[in-house]
Amino acid sequence: MSPRHRPKALLVMQDRVFPEQFGPAELERLRTLADLGPDPTPVSELDSPAARARLADAEVLITSWGCPRLDRDRLAAAPHLQAVFHCAGTVRSLVSDELWARGIRVTTAAEENAEPVAQFTFAAIVFAGKKAPFLAQAARSHREDWAYKHRSRAQLGNVDRTIGLIGFSRIGARVAQRLLSLQVQTLVYDPFVDADRIAAAGARRVELEELLTSSDVVSVHAPQLPSTHHMLAAPQLALMRDGATLINTSRGSLVDTTALEAECASGRLDAILDVTDPEPLPAGSILYDLPNVMITPHIAGSLGAETRMMSRRALTELALYTEGLPAEEEVTSEAMGVMA
């Protein structure tokens, strides 16, 4: 490959995603780095004759939310494809065995997406320490009687608390870093990360049982895998301290919703949920109505201009490719066994 190789590129993403993720600066950089051909508009599917004609020429794909799986049939229609630069987090929905077998380079913007989730989680932990979302709910019924806050005041605050992080993932590690600014003890459960790395982040590696029994706030950051399905079911939730808060910004399926409903309905546990199972929850779910549950509609990850940070990551990876250099955030089939 020559140093200033300019590959033919095709953008594959949902229509609504493209203008959000590619502003004038990102488009200009893309045009400098790659040949978008006579029709630079993105495609949102890869099966129509028009999309297939463009896929046939493409050497690289710039993908984002809505890119269909690059399966055997679609790959057969992409004989020149060498690289996929993903402008979002997980590539799980687009990769396939055939893609790995072809040795196609795949990169992710999960590091960039981790940042807003870590910010959101840190805010949620601080709010959980003061039970802010739940006291805010109660304010609606207490109006001028703010003395209700004194009833639980002794248990409020963010000093000398224990925060448990499940998964020392990109996000989990960033949250641990931010927790250094609080006077708290941080415990981490991640069977795939050694204790020294966790200790270097000012936290202590523990088993899941110790984390659950010791933490005032438990925040979930493990990926959705067969091995993590319902990793927090009734027996695990039962280990959590009375009055503890569960924060889930990872994936809903890691928590057994029915078991969580029971623990929150009894008032024993509180919850801050950015993700649920199913997602969204059915209209009749009790979790919508409980005063000790805060639900946000999967907003912790990149939104609005935050998503451009992910496009810039993909463009950096494209630039490295055009210079014949290794990727910085490459995804491998082996890594997919433990990553989001």
Catalytic residue IDs: 251, 279, 298
Residue placing its CB nearer to ligand NAD in the complex, 11 or 88? 88
**Which of 15-23, 176-184, 297-305, 311-319 is the region at the interface with ligand NAD (rule: CB under 6 A)?**
297-305
The single residue among 43, 55, 99, 114 that binds ligand NAD, judged by CB under 6 A, is: 114
Question: Distance (Å, rounded) from C-alpha 38 to C-alpha 9?
Answer: 11
Site for ligand NAD contains 86 (CB under 6 A): no
Residue from 23, 104, 102 nearest 311 by CA? 23
By CB under 6 A, tell whether 168 contacts ligand NAD.
Answer: yes
C-beta of 111: minimal distance to ligand NAD in Å?
Answer: 8
9 SS3 class: strand
- Residue 106, SS3? strand
Determine, following the binding rule CB under 6 A, whether residue 89 of this chain makes contact with ligand NAD: yes
Among 77, 233, 262, 338, binds ligand NAD (CB under 6 A): 338
Strand order of the β-sheet with 183-189 is 204-205, 183-189, 159-166, 217-220, 245-248, 270-273, 293-295
Annotate 252-286 with DSSP letters as a single string: GGGB-HHHHHHHHHTTS-EEEESS-SSSSPPTT-G
Using CB under 6 A, pick the residue from 83, 94, 106, 110 that binds ligand NAD. 110
- 113 vs 322, which CB is nearer to ligand NAD? 113
Burial class (CB in 10 A: 0-12, 13-18, 19+), 1: exposed
Can residue 170 be called a binding residue for ligand NAD (CB under 6 A)?
Answer: yes
- Under 8 Å between Cβ of 68 and 14: no
Peptide bond before residue 280 is cis, with ω within 30 degrees of 0: yes
Instruction: From 7-15, 39-47, 186-194, 211-219, give the range in contact with ligand NAD by CB under 6 A.
Output: 186-194
Contact flags string 210-229 toward ligand NAD, x per CB under 6 A? -----------xxxx--xx-
Minimum distance from residue 67 beta carbon to ligand NAD (Å): 16
CB of 158 to ligand NAD, least distance (A): 22
Bridge partners of 60?
9, 83
For the CB of residue 132, give the shortest distance to ligand NAD in the complex, in Å. 20
Q: Measured from the CB of residue 129, what is the shortest distance to ligand NAD in angstroms?
A: 20
Q: Nearer Cβ to ligand NAD, position 17 or 171?
A: 171
Closest CB to ligand NAD among 82 and 213? Answer: 213
For residue 241, the one-letter residue type is R
Q: Indicate the residue among 214 and 322 with the shorter CB distance to ligand NAD.
A: 214
Helices 306-322 + 110-129 axis angle, to 10? 150
CB 74 within 8 A of CB 49: no
Write down the least CB distance from residue 104 to ligand NAD, Å: 20
- CA-CA distance, 80 to 101, in Å (whole number)? 14
In the complex with ligand NAD, the residue whose CB is nearer, 96 or 119, is 119
Nearest to ligand NAD of 51, 87 (CB atom)? 87
Amino acid in position 160: D
What SS3 state is found at 217? Answer: strand
User: CB 271: neighbour CB atoms within 10 A?
Assistant: 26
Query: Should residue 249 be labelled a site residue for ligand NAD when binding is judged by CB under 6 A?
Result: yes
Per DSSP, the three-state class of 33 is helix
Contact status: 252 vs ligand NAD (CB under 6 A)? no
Residues that bind ligand NAD (CB under 6 A): 89-90, 110, 113-114, 117, 166-171, 189-193, 221-224, 227-228, 231, 249-251, 274-275, 298, 300-301, 338-340
